[in-house]
Chains A and B, each alone.
Chain A
């Protein structure tokens, strides 16, 4: 989406045009859902977080000046929603462990990732991504699975584009090691 189109869409949203708001949703809800699904590996959570992301966007879009890319701005909201949810999950699990409560097992049926990634190799690759430590997982998902540019990622993560690029290449090298350890070969 060109900057001009994005500015025009934002201007129409700011004038209160409902059709522009619907266009904004249709344009971005799939990438936002994709990011949240790939990060959480949970379809229900991704759906909830997508709705929360757009609800927050409607709250703040009136003050958004359009100097940053609209998509990156929305992804940033979504990413922050995911981080918040992850933090609250960690707190919840810690409390459950302290209370000696074991969450019910999800069963042997197909999970959301299995439904999306039908072949074994894709599933193994996805698992390897989620085994990455630190922010490596998020960087790989944003750049390769979501197709976000380094500039957009720098807007989302609040880091210079050069730093993001270096961190992505470093995360890719670690993923390569993970795939080797897991028996996946790309030669």
Chain B
């Protein structure tokens, strides 16, 4: 690039050059150009969506998308929680479902309400059941776990053997039909 020197910067010469440049003839476009440009006007030249609204639209869309995504996540969590809950219930059901059949006496087993009802209906059968449970709790090695054993109900009435109960608690819980 040539550095401007004093001769180049002569104001009069520069002014004359500027004037000459402005006087240079302007090129005339061919006559067909105007007609070609007019015939090329597209039919639907219109104002598009205003810029502000156009800028806001993606925000609204993204907010809606975020809300939808949040809702989807919440619904997924609910579904997962419910399925886990069902699974837990079904696991419990595996343990609890095969309830032992009713005793020949017709007494239902291992239920607080059932024991109470048995007591009211047949005091003899109830005493018998109680004796069986007590025997097991006093000597768990020598006898089978009674299906009717209801620890909480039993302990409420047999306070003296509470300590032994605590030692055997885990064993009793695993007994079929033992709802503690």
Contacts and interface: CB of A to CB of B under 8 A. Distances in A.
Nearest to A185: B13
Interface in B13-67: 13-14, 16-18, 20-22, 24-30, 33-34, 36-38, 40-42, 44-48, 51, 54
A176 B41 contact: no
B8 interface: yes
A50 B24 contact: no
Q: Which of A134, A147, A176, A177 has the most CB of B within 10 A?
A: A176
A173 B42 CA distance: 45
Nearest to A123: B24
B41 A174 contact: no
Contact of B17 (A21, A30, A176): A176
A57 to B, nearest CB: 9
A125 B47 contact: no
Interface in A28-72: 29-30, 33-34, 37-38, 43, 46-47, 50-51, 54-55, 58, 61-63, 65
A51 B40 contact: yes
A22 B21 CA distance: 31
Contact of B13 (A47, A117, A122, A176): A176
Interface residues of B, number: 39
Interface residues of A, number: 52
Contact of A170 (B4, B25, B28, B33): B4
A25 to B, nearest CB: 5
A180 B16 contact: no
What is the predominant secondary structure among interface residues of chain B facing chain A? loop
B128 interface: no
A144 B21 contact: yes
Contact of B27 (A21, A26, A43, A62): A43
B101 to A, nearest CB: 82
A182 interface: no
What is the predominant secondary structure among interface residues of chain A facing chain B? helix
A103 B101 CA distance: 106
Contacts of B28: 30, 116
Contacts of A51: 33, 36-37, 40
A15 interface: yes
Nearest to B4: A173
Contacts of B51: 63, 65
A104 to B, nearest CB: 23
A85 to B, nearest CB: 17
Q: Closest 7 A-B residue pairs measured CB to CB?
A: A14-B47, A144-B21, A173-B4, A62-B48, A186-B16, A33-B29, A37-B27
Interface of A: 13-16, 18, 21-22, 25-26, 29-30, 33-34, 37-38, 43, 46-47, 50-51, 54-55, 58, 61-63, 65, 112, 116-118, 122, 125-126, 129, 133-134, 140, 144-145, 147, 170, 172-177, 179-180, 186-187
Interface of B: 1-2, 4-5, 7-10, 12-14, 16-18, 20-22, 24-30, 33-34, 36-38, 40-42, 44-48, 51, 54
